[in-house]
Structure 1
């Protein structure tokens, strides 16, 4: 028995070290570090740690101990939640949907601005806890009531769980704004990554409910607004940039839409899109709508390869406006409230924000755009993670706060 314990004590650290070395090798073989990024060593370390967690999760999944996604979710909620003594934080449920309310403690003689926040994470990670510090900071710095929505995610829930929960929670909140001390004329919807995409869907959905107060502004932080054209300049230029690489996008998209991973190449090459549909949506999805300064000379052609009908039948849901909200009619876009759009230079989703910006502007919707030249996808989450914060993290969160305070 003693020998067995000695073997375990030696082998386990060796195993963990071996997995970490594999993660480091994978990092240096597969990723690109943008030249504009500050603190590249810190960036590399964080990405190696992420690859290590994914590798450990995959091992546990193969051993049928725990799914990789569940393993990642366990680790994300180990984050330290900072107590803010200036706020009252309340955990609640709207039906089956968990939400967290952040309210300033200071007594106000008037109703406050309200912010409905949808977190990111690609329906894989992200939670009320992992975005707690950001929502707390938004509530304090803008003197607003913030509602953070904890929607259902993978691996147990697929599309349309995210949008259904966020729309339903938003409607519930909007029906009782004064109960929470919120001014019905000053409600902002805000989201990051997939949560930014949810902002577009929620604002569009609420247009059909005129009995509710109107949203006064939408804040989209590095949003995903379409899942059709993955040959846009930003997808090509940043496909190997942490923390949202091409492989992670393909995995998250297929799992959330419950599409077999064997169709991932057809989705990314665009061969699952019929020719007439390509022509129909080209006016909104083409890289021609991306400013020239964002394009390199080595770009590949869009929608390469012949149409694959079998792939179309398996993946046609990507054309649903509830998945690709960029595709809704002009008459709906024209009714949307003013917008604040954040894009990051080193983010594959950069051009999703630029395309949606143009759609809004073409229909006369006021747009304020903030572009983070040294930013990367998810950078806003590091704004308070010292010593792992980045200058772009602080700039992004401060830009969002400045815009909201002006409403």
Structure 2
């Protein structure tokens, strides 16, 4: 009897906590400008994610892992994944890496073009399955066969393991394309956010491997490409929103991916890792803010502005191993030289305004153009990070996928 009473009491306590957390998340919800489309949807989505974040933080006080709580709550969203009758999907492995194949339903004649897809989620969250509705929409609009990679996640598996999983799957798919009904000469790579990071890193690595069919395009949707400077204009403007991705979250994701912990969070958040040595290095020039269009950034490109905290950083000691990682192009692709960028395939760069990663995409688009790569860009002034994932809730997302499909067809001469 006592156990029953305690169980009921515990449930009531959890219910009260949930209600209180819900109210807190509601009052902390972001406020979007009036010009923004679907303000109601964005507010609901942001409230939901703030609620998940608050509940996850609360779980830490109860002895649970906040990260695993977040994963569990996000995985619950799979219940809303109503599969398209126009697309078949099945799980397989490629040299030990789990991959979901998405393809047009029914029998198909001849070989189709293919896409290697890498999901986002800050290297620590999400799965290929949770990206199912978006991936299905891409299949429907392009007629392609997609290999979506379920790479292992940080912090359990830190850099370079997630990248190695993506490379393993990409190499296998390129070598065995015909087994999946794909023309190996019509394959590109696509990823968003952390997946955009991994997609570009895979493209950089494979560009040096001449024993494989070359990637025909690289599609990056609001990609995370540098951990060098967390005081770029977008990090200042959207530090706390209103978009889904805040500076706090992004800095945490970078550190969990690299080191598996947040021990140096304050150093990175305040840009104290950007020492005088790094400021004077060639890597500084790779993300110079003059690459950012003033019409978007709303800055005057005053090159005398101090972005690292000035003289305060002169005495900060950063381990060489840490510097080695954050300047590694396979960890942070914007650290690649112009020479390495010049051999990358035709690119499609999709960017949105309400996003701390906005400038990463703007900079890489401009650098690729200057390196001689053909680049198609799309910038949406009133959308936020994660926008493309809401293809079932926001009709305008489908139009953006159709826009990508046009690039896809033109690039592959279909």
**TM-score by shorter chain over 0.5:** yes
> What are the Cα deviations for residues 36-72 of structure 1, in whole angstroms up to 9, with x where unaligned?
422323322222221221222222233223x111112
Residue aligning to 2:378: 370
Q: Report deviation, 1:395.
A: 4.0
Residue aligning to 2:391: 383
**In structure 2, do the counterparts of structure 1 residues 243 and 308 end up closer, same or farther at CA, with 3 Å as the change threshold?**
farther
The answer on 1:208 being equivalent to 2:208 is: yes
**Equivalent residue of 1:302, what SS?**
coil
Residue aligning to 1:59: 58
CA distance in 2, matches of 1:203, 1:12: 47
**Equivalent residue of 1:209, what SS?**
coil
The answer on 1:40 being equivalent to 2:44 is: no
Residue aligning to 2:297: 295
- Superposition map of 1:4-403 within 5 A: 4=6, 7-8=9-10, 10-25=12-27, 27-28=28-29, 31=30, 33-65=32-64, 67-78=65-76, 79=78, 80-241=80-241, 242-258=243-259, 260-279=261-280, 280-296=282-298, 301-305=306-310, 306-313=313-320, 315-316=322-323, 317-384=325-392, 386=393, 389=394, 391=396, 393-403=397-407
CA contact (8 A) 1:221 1:343 kept: yes
**Equivalent residue of 2:130, what SS?**
coil
TM-score calculated relative to the size of structure 2: 0.89
CA distance in 2, matches of 1:10, 1:153: 34
Give 5+ residue unaligned stretches, structure 2: none
Q: Report deviation, 1:221.
A: 0.6
RMSD of aligned C-alpha atoms? 2.2
**In structure 2, do the counterparts of structure 1 residues 293 and 366 end up closer, same or farther at CA, with 3 Å as the change threshold?**
same
CA contact (8 A) 2:291 2:367 kept: no
TM-score calculated relative to the size of structure 1: 0.91
CA contact (8 A) 2:117 2:149 kept: yes
**In structure 2, do the counterparts of structure 1 residues 3 and 230 end up closer, same or farther at CA, with 3 Å as the change threshold?**
closer
Aligned pairs, number: 399
**In structure 2, do the counterparts of structure 1 residues 59 and 129 end up closer, same or farther at CA, with 3 Å as the change threshold?**
same
CA distance in 2, matches of 1:373, 1:276: 36
CA contact (8 A) 1:272 1:308 kept: no
Give 5+ residue unaligned stretches, structure 1: none
CA contact (8 A) 1:70 1:155 kept: no
Q: Report deviation, 1:291.
A: 1.0
**In structure 2, do the counterparts of structure 1 residues 3 and 314 end up closer, same or farther at CA, with 3 Å as the change threshold?**
same
> What are the Cα deviations for residues 243-290 of structure 1, in whole angstroms up to 9, with x where unaligned?
101111122122222265352232244332332432322322111221
Query: Bigger CA drift: 263-272 or 230-239?
Result: 263-272
> What are the Cα deviations for residues 10-58 of structure 1, in whole angstroms up to 9, with x where unaligned?
4343222112122223x25xx4534442232332222222122122222
